[in-house]
Amino acid sequence: MSLIIKPTNLQPDQQLQQDVFKNERLVLSKGTFLNHRHIEKLKRWEIQQVVISSRFAEDSNSELDPLSEINTSHFSEEHESYYLTTLFNTVITKIVNEMRYGELLKPTDSIYEVRNLFIRLLKNPVNKKLLSELLQHDEYSFFHSVDVFILGYFLGKKLNINDMEGFATACLLHDIGKISIPREIISKSTKLTSSEYKMVEHHTIEGERILLAQGYKETTAQLARSHHEKIDGSGYPDQIDAETDRFFTELHILTIIDIYSALTLDRSYRKAFPASRALSILLNEQHLYNQSILFEFVDTLKIYPKNSLVQLSTGELANVTKVIEGLPTLGVVTTLLDEKDFFLPIDKSISIKEIVEWNNDQYAKELFLWLQFIQSLRQRDDKKALKYLNELEDKYSIEKVFTHLFEPAMNELYHANNIKRADRMDNFTAVTTLKHIIDYKRFEYTSAVTTTIGSVLIIDAGKKNFMLKHHILHSLLSSIGFQIRSISVDEPTLDLPSEEVLTYISNHSIEQVVIVGSFNEISALTFLLEAIKQSYPHTHTVFVEEKANAPADDHSFIDLTTSKIEKCLQFLKKLINEKAKGD
């Protein structure tokens, strides 16, 4: 175990467990066995405290794992401090580095401030109990909570928060509601479905309930409830906006640092984003956050993304034109007045004082990604198309990947073909590539499906060049848990004998039938669909038409007619929910 101690209390032969720095200069290396000369050097350099090896836990036969459980009830007060110090040190080695924190922890004494507060808060038995439960339920959420606590402490301190300890407690426990989310969902390695998103979103309400039940202040509970709100009213769970007095300074801080932490830590479904990219995402969406506090956060980290308009220490204005990923506090700037390009010097003789403005058009960026995605499809470049899709899909649920990306891509390809904007062969190639990408995503999403939510028979009665809509619908429904049976026919009246279809529906417990085609084909299926309705009145029929045209006849045996896959999905989900309530 480790022990933090002042140099005045050091003894010869004790061993350093961490490097000792002063003003970024190495004083003594980790592993050094101290002698009298070393101890005098530490005093002379005015080192406040060092970490040494402790043989305190002699009654233990094995090394204590600080991440196994936060349970110190059987420890003496002194031993508890050692344990919590070790726990904090273990956590920060996993989350704290200059690529994420920039200059937040300079001077180096800063880490001791936040560590001492962490120890003090975890000596509270209720704080300790709740954090232990979170650690046992989901290790990522625990690390994220400590990360938010550290970020919140320093940004809150800079903004002169009055009740710093209360705010730090709220940061530490803001995600406690996640203990109510099933482990298989919170650790899911692929995208979430819409229903899973709703389950995850409920952690805010559950967090408020838990904290109020444990006797925490109303403000602490409110921060747990509202940390996913946005100032334009688009957040959850209450869609509050900046006009309400519920959006106070501490909440503005928490909404920003929570997103930054989540983006820059590894997740079960993606690798961490570099700090500069995470800040770019926040700045691109600054209409969702308090801009002045967001700029303060950027200035606190001293990490300025490309396209930042900044003021230099010389007083000049400059644009950041390049960021070095491994050294994000450095980069290339171009002065506005004389358009001079230069690297920011390591010796800080010229540095960035503050961010002044953010110069980027998010709409233009998303349009660029979309056009590159379509172009990659036409070039039959699966790898590049998947790369652009992965950037586009980040903000979408599984359902919306299909309805907001794949279906519009299909429509754009077909539209280009109809107006002769693209060569017919190029268009065929693009459709084939799009099917490959859809298949890849379907495999990724279905691998995480654990339960079946309903059985659907999809009958593709459309033209061959419109089978892509059937493919998208089939892939979407199977990706979110529907069991799909699929039939494709050229001549509906010849290929679909009514008796055989009715037997098929019975044998496979089909609950819903979806027809994909045109009104010409649906007319040919009238007798079959009427037979289905008569034999199985609780089986619903959806007609997904190839184009949004009004039907020539009134087909009362069809429960929904739409050209939109999203409306078909909403209808099927509604039927599933109604059945669940009835059961």
Q: pLDDT tens digit string along 131-173?
A: 999 999 999 999 999 999 999 999 999 999 999 999 999 999 9
| Mean pLDDT along residues 362-368 | 80
pLDDT attached to residue 492: 61
| Mean pLDDT along residues 61-79 | 57
Spatial distance between the Cα atoms of 226 and 221, rounded to a whole number of angstroms:
9
- Per residue in 449-467, is it b (16+ CB within 10 Å) or e — as a string? beeebbebbbbbbbeeebb
pLDDT digits over 272-297, tens only?
999 999 999 999 999 999 999 999 99
| Mean pLDDT along residues 355-377 | 87
pTM as predicted: 0.76
Phi, psi of 117 (to 5 degrees): -70, -40
Structural contact between residues 438 and 484, judged by C-beta atoms closer than 8 angstroms: no
pLDDT attached to residue 59: 35
Among 172-181, 465-474, 479-488, 499-508, the range of highest mean pLDDT? 172-181
pLDDT at 226 over 80: yes
pLDDT attached to residue 547: 61
Confidence of residue 435 (pLDDT cuts 50, 70, 90): very high
Among 246-260, 351-365, 511-525, 545-559, the range of highest mean pLDDT? 246-260
pLDDT attached to residue 264: 96
The least confident of 1-5, 546-550, 555-559 is: 546-550
pLDDT attached to residue 78: 65
**Stronger pLDDT, 45 or 303, i.e. the higher one:** 303
pLDDT attached to residue 556: 72
pLDDT at 56 over 70: no
Spatial distance between the Cα atoms of 52 and 19, rounded to a whole number of angstroms:
10
The least confident of 7-21, 319-333, 393-407 is: 7-21
Spatial distance between the Cα atoms of 218 and 211, rounded to a whole number of angstroms:
8
- 461: helix, coil or strand? coil
pLDDT at 407 over 50: yes
- 89: helix, coil or strand? helix
| Mean pLDDT along residues 207-218 | 98
- 230: helix, coil or strand? coil
The least confident of 151-155, 237-241, 265-269 is: 265-269
pLDDT at 417 over 90: no
pLDDT attached to residue 552: 47
Instruction: Round the average pLDDT of the chain to a whole number and report it.
Output: 86
Confidence of residue 423 (pLDDT cuts 50, 70, 90): low
**Stronger pLDDT, 360 or 434, i.e. the higher one:** 434
- 45: helix, coil or strand? coil
Phi, psi of 546 (to 5 degrees): -70, -35
| Mean pLDDT along residues 296-314 | 95
Spatial distance between the Cα atoms of 373 and 277, rounded to a whole number of angstroms:
20
SS3 content of the chain, % helix, strand, coil (to 5): 55, 15, 35
Cβ count within 10 A of residue 106: 15
pLDDT attached to residue 132: 92
pLDDT at 222 over 90: yes
| Mean pLDDT along residues 99-125 | 88
Confidence of residue 55 (pLDDT cuts 50, 70, 90): very low
Confidence of residue 439 (pLDDT cuts 50, 70, 90): very high
pLDDT attached to residue 466: 57
Confidence of residue 27 (pLDDT cuts 50, 70, 90): confident
**Stronger pLDDT, 414 or 493, i.e. the higher one:** 414
pLDDT attached to residue 72: 59
**What tokens were used for 87?**
């726990």
Q: First CA to last CA across the chain, in angstroms?
A: 56
**Stronger pLDDT, 31 or 301, i.e. the higher one:** 301
Confidence of residue 64 (pLDDT cuts 50, 70, 90): very low
pLDDT at 328 over 80: yes
Confidence of residue 475 (pLDDT cuts 50, 70, 90): very high
Spatial distance between the Cα atoms of 170 and 204, rounded to a whole number of angstroms:
13
